């Protein structure tokens, strides 16, 4: 037998930052006290810093989808014309949410693995000048693709519409210039690059988005951006906050801000680059034509079901990775790089992949993929002091 340590290597939930996990044990405190207000204020300030947001970042007790839902119910009215850019399962979630609230959606769809190009958005905005909002995923976690939110944001900025970005796996894995690119609403979730468990959702809003809030008439109660902002200003949340998660968030944000958000992004980008190099060495194809750095979706070798690879990680190494979602189930497996992932994680993930591929009859030379990751590490260290 071998000892097999359990490892969570999915694109959410992601590996936990240990000091954040330990901080959760101090949650025997009341949320309407000076003690907790200080923690909450510090967490909100830390969020604003990692977002690079000119305005406030709101925090809510929900998974990421809660903030997606709230962004529709707080900022729009029934019948509003919106454009949804969808290229995967999370884009489809936007379509479902805006339709559930009765918005009049034009859907720009790209095949799984591709992205909606800015020129398609430009044409759609021209065709409908009354558009009130544009929805997209910065990083489409189901396919590993990354949208060009810079180009898209600049197009939307020239109109009266607001740009609503699901950056739940985009934050910490791609640059997001809220002011410069016109990212009016940027949504985050705690279980992604924030390195803490699921249960918190974040949202930043620009002036333009707050102006939409003033005229929006869709009903909402629990998720109320204006109430949340007012309470946040005095260090409180509207409802009982998820105190244990706020304690964890505060620790994780201190860490991210100490290394710098740009370096967290660079870390994900470098690990994603190394993963692409390794898959090329192993003769594997990427699933996406425009891969991002949160997660790399890889096609299994011809004739192999990707489920075999996911199962291999679990059975041989007690490691949890993810396959494809929905109709992509057997077509890809996903290796994550967002948040608390490092090179040693990747060395082992690729070494394990080589063993799993061989055990399933795909001949790869042992160490070939790992060597590709090692070369990326060496090259990167040569140009850095770290
Ligand atoms: C994880 C994720 C979400 C949110 O999912 P929840 O289960 O509600 O946290 C939304 N969009 C993307 C792109 C994601 O990766």
Report the 10 Å Cβ neighbour count for 88: 28
Among 125, 119, 93, which residue's Cα sits nearest to residue 106?
125
Distance of alpha carbon 153 from alpha carbon 159, whole angstroms:
10
**Ligand 1 atom, smallest distance to 66 CA:** 8
Among 303, 295, 297, which residue's Cα sits nearest to residue 362?
303
Distance of alpha carbon 313 from alpha carbon 10, whole angstroms:
12
For residues 106 and 128, is the Cβ–Cβ distance under 8 A? yes
Residue 369 has pLDDT above 60, yes or no: yes
Q: Which one of 61, 65, 336 would you pick to mutate in the ligand 1 pocket, going by the greatest count of ligand atoms within 8 A of its CB?
A: 65
Tell me what the pLDDT averaged over the chain comes to: 97
For residues 131 and 83, is the Cβ–Cβ distance under 8 A? yes
* DSSP secondary structure of 62-110: S-HHHHHHHHHHHH--TT-EEEEEE-SHHHHHHHHHHHHTT-EEEEEE-
Q: Cα–Cα distances in Å, from 312 out to 194, 284, 316, 318, 354?
A: 28, 17, 6, 9, 11
Tell me which DSSP letter residue 111 carries: -
Average pLDDT in the 84-110 region? 98
Distance of alpha carbon 91 from alpha carbon 73, whole angstroms:
17
pLDDT of res. 240: 97
Could you give the residue ranges of the DSSP H alpha helices within 106-189? 118-127, 149-157, 178-181
Report whether residue 143 contacts ligand 1, using a CB cutoff of 6 Å.
no
Residue 381 has pLDDT above 60, yes or no: yes
Average pLDDT in the 181-205 region? 98
Nearest residue (by CA) to ligand 1, atom 3, is 64
CA of 5 to the centre of ligand 1 (A): 26
Q: Is the previous residue joined to 13 through a cis bond, with omega within 30 degrees of 0?
A: yes
pLDDT of res. 72: 98
CA of 260 to the centre of ligand 1 (A): 24
CA of 16 to the centre of ligand 1 (A): 17
Q: pLDDT over 90 for what percent of the chain?
A: 98
Report whether residue 168 contacts ligand 1, using a CB cutoff of 6 Å.
yes
Report whether residue 88 contacts ligand 1, using a CB cutoff of 6 Å.
no
CA of 91 to the centre of ligand 1 (A): 10
pLDDT of res. 34: 97
Question: What is the band of 385 on the pLDDT scale with cuts at 50, 70, 90?
Answer: low
CA of 167 to the centre of ligand 1 (A): 9
Report whether residue 325 contacts ligand 1, using a CB cutoff of 6 Å.
no
Distance of alpha carbon 216 from alpha carbon 71, whole angstroms:
11
- Give phi and psi for 287, each to the nearest 5: -80, -35
CA of 86 to the centre of ligand 1 (A): 14
Report whether residue 137 contacts ligand 1, using a CB cutoff of 6 Å.
yes
Distance of alpha carbon 170 from alpha carbon 189, whole angstroms:
10
Query: Which tens digit of pLDDT belongs to each residue from 279-308?
Result: 999 999 999 999 999 999 999 999 999 999
For residues 84 and 165, is the Cβ–Cβ distance under 8 A? no
**Ligand 1 atom, smallest distance to 189 CA:** 9
Report whether residue 189 contacts ligand 1, using a CB cutoff of 6 Å.
yes
Report whether residue 63 contacts ligand 1, using a CB cutoff of 6 Å.
yes
pLDDT of res. 383: 82
Look at the pTM and tell me if it is higher than 0.95. yes
All structural domains of the chain, each given as residue ranges with its CATH number in brackets, are: 7-13+260-385 (3.90.1150.10), 18-259 (3.40.640.10)
CA of 64 to the centre of ligand 1 (A): 5
Q: Cα–Cα distances in Å, from 72 out to 128, 179, 359?
A: 19, 21, 48
Residue 124 has pLDDT above 70, yes or no: yes
Question: What is the band of 1 on the pLDDT scale with cuts at 50, 70, 90?
Answer: confident
CA of 45 to the centre of ligand 1 (A): 23
Report whether residue 145 contacts ligand 1, using a CB cutoff of 6 Å.
no
Q: Which one of 10, 12, 245 would you pick to mutate in the ligand 1 pocket, going by the greatest count of ligand atoms within 8 A of its CB?
A: 12
Residue 129 has pLDDT above 80, yes or no: yes
Which helix (H) or strand (E) segment holds residue 13: the answer is: none
The angle that helices 261-281 and 368-383 make with each other, rounded to 10 degrees, is 150
pLDDT of res. 105: 98
pLDDT of res. 386: 52
- Give phi and psi for 164, each to the nearest 5: -110, 110
Distance of alpha carbon 258 from alpha carbon 261, whole angstroms:
8
**Ligand 1 atom, smallest distance to 140 CA:** 13
Average pLDDT in the 159-185 region? 98
């Amino acid at each position: 037998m071998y000892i097999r340590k359990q490892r969570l290597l999915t694109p959410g939930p992601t590996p936990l930052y240990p000091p954040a996990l330990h901080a959760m044990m101090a949650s025997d405190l009341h949320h309407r006290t000076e003690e907790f207000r200080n923690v909450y204020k510090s967490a909100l300030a830390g969020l604003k810093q990692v977002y690079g947001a000119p305005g406030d970042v709101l925090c809510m007790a929900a998974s990421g989808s809660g903030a997606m839902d709230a962004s529709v119910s707080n900022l729009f009215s029934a019948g509003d014309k919106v454009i949804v850019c969808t290229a995967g399962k999370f884009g489809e979630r936007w379509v479902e949410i805006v339709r559930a609230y009765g918005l009049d959606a034009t859907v720009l769809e790209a095949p799984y693995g591709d992205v909606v190009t800015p020129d398609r958005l430009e044409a759609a905005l021209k065709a409908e000048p009354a558009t009130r909002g544009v929805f997209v995923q910065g990083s489409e976690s189901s396919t590993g693709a990354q949208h060009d939110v810079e180009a898209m944001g600049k197009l939307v900025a020239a109109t009266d519409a607001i740009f609503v970005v699901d950056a739940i796996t985009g934050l910490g894995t791609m640059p997001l210039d809220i002011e410069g690119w016109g990212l009016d609403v940027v949504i985050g979730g705690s279980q992604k690059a924030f390195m803490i468990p699921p249960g918190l959702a974040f949202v930043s809003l620009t002036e333009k988005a707050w102006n939409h809030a003033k005229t929006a008439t869709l009903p909402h109660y629990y998720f109320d951006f204006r109430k949340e902002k007012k309470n946040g200003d005095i260090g409180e949340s509207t409802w009982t906050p998820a105190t244990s998660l706020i304690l964890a968030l505060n620790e994780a944000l201190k860490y991210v801000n100490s290394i710098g958000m740009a370096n967290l992004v660079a870390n994900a980008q470098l690990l994603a680059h190394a993963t692409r190099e390794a898959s090329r060495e192993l003769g594997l194809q990427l699933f996406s034509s425009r891969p991002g750095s949160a997660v790399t979706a890889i096609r299994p070798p011809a004739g192999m079901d990707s489920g075999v690879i996911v199962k291999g990680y679990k059975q041989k190494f007690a490691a949890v990775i993810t396959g494809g979602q929905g109709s992509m189930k057997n077509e890809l497996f996903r290796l994550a790089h967002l948040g608390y992932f490092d090179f040693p994680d990747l060395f082992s993930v690729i070494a394990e992949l080589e063993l799993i591929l061989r055990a399933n009859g795909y001949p790869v030379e042992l160490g070939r993929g790992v060597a590709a990751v090692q070369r990326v590490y060496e090259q990167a260290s040569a140009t850095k002091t770290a």
